[in-house]
Amino acid sequence: MKNMKLFISIIFTFSILISQSMTLSHSGITPSSTLVVESGENITFIYGSGGSHPMTSDNDSPVYFPTVTVSSGNPTAVFSLTAVGTYTFHCATNPGNSSLHGTIIVEASEPDFTLGDVNDDGVINILDIVGIVNHIMGTATLPVEEAGDVNTDGIINILDIVQIVNIIMGSRVDSIDATATFKDNILYTTGSVGGIQFIGNLVSAVMGNDTVVSNNGITVIYNVDEGILSTESFVFDGHPINLIIASSIGENVEITNEFTLMNIYPNPFNPQTSINYELSVDSFVSLDIYNMNGQLVNQLVNKTVSAGMNSVVWNGINSAGMDVSAGVYLVKLNSNGNSISQMVSLLK
């Protein structure tokens, strides 16, 4: 029995040592008016003396502090704060007593997992890559999903797979600047590309030891042997959706925008003509009509447009909705600081 009491005493003492607590009394806050805790960590307010102590947020508190009260009838209050930041508060019963003004600093909690170790077996290897691939395909869930977001961008995709390849290879992957261009349903890459991900139909074969996994319409291509894709061009039967290109170090590679203004038909026209244009990537586009004096007649497009073939009709009116006179007009397509122009003739 004596040993049991000693054991309980030790446990109680240990609990006090690790406790994040403040004692609130008429004379002030002890042991300190400032606590530093992790997000979600338990905090205990302990009643000491005086009247009720409703500790409430200061008007200028950087983060709002919810009112927590202790009193002789409710001597302890255990709570936690999750939002990272600084909370300042005071006793609403006696706001003029500066010794009853306190601060709690909430810091981000340390993750209890290792980035990349999605199966939580203590080792980062090919099994983790397979797990992430299955997760992307929607065929399996990750035991530790947070560990799959290796680059911490909030999305699990090919960028994370490539970064895990780098971890496995000890960052021995070449990192020559990667580029990507999409034109005529072909993706061309140069430099050190570590992988790609897309929704669509690839009709060409991959090279070397590149691994291709497809399911539920989603495809990922990566290389765990060299960390760099052997394939440099990919032919599709149309424009792929959600195309992501990862460099060999797991960074997103922007696709160079290639755009084409197709033949305008009919030309000459009356009363309307179709203007077709093709974009290699989603882009902000303006398509303008000018007269031969260089004056803007109408703006047909001024927005972000999806990649692929697009079309707009001009019915020979200006921006005020009035018919324009017969003559030759300039059609100008602008995107990312570049432009293409064609002439079109309106007949009356």
Hey, what domains does the chain have and what are their CATH numbers? 2-107 (2.60.40.420), 115-256 (1.10.1330.10), 259-346 (2.60.40.4070)
For residue 187, pLDDT beyond 60: yes
pTM reported for the whole predicted model: 0.59
Indicate the pLDDT class of residue 15, thresholds 50, 70 and 90.
very low
Q: What is the pLDDT of residues 306-348, one digit of tens each?
A: 888 899 999 999 999 999 999 999 999 998 788 899 999 999 8
Report the percent of the chain where pLDDT is more than 70.
Answer: 93
Q: What is the DSSP letter of 236?
A: B
How does pLDDT run across 26-56, given as a tens digit for each residue? 899 999 999 999 999 999 999 999 999 999 9
DSSP 113: S
Residue 42 CA: distances (Å) to CA of 18, 35, 45, 82, 104: 10, 11, 10, 10, 12
Average pLDDT over residues 258-271: 91
Considering just the CA atoms, what is the radius of gyration of the chain in Å? 32
Bond from prior residue into 268 cis (ω within 30 degrees of 0):
yes
> pLDDT class for 19, splitting at 50, 70, 90?
low
Mean pLDDT to the nearest integer, 164-175 = 81
Q: Computed from CA positions of residues 25, 28, 30, 33, in that sequence, does the dihedral angle turn out positive or negative?
A: positive
Cβ(81)–Cβ(108) under 8 Å?
no
Place of tokens 């765990």: 224
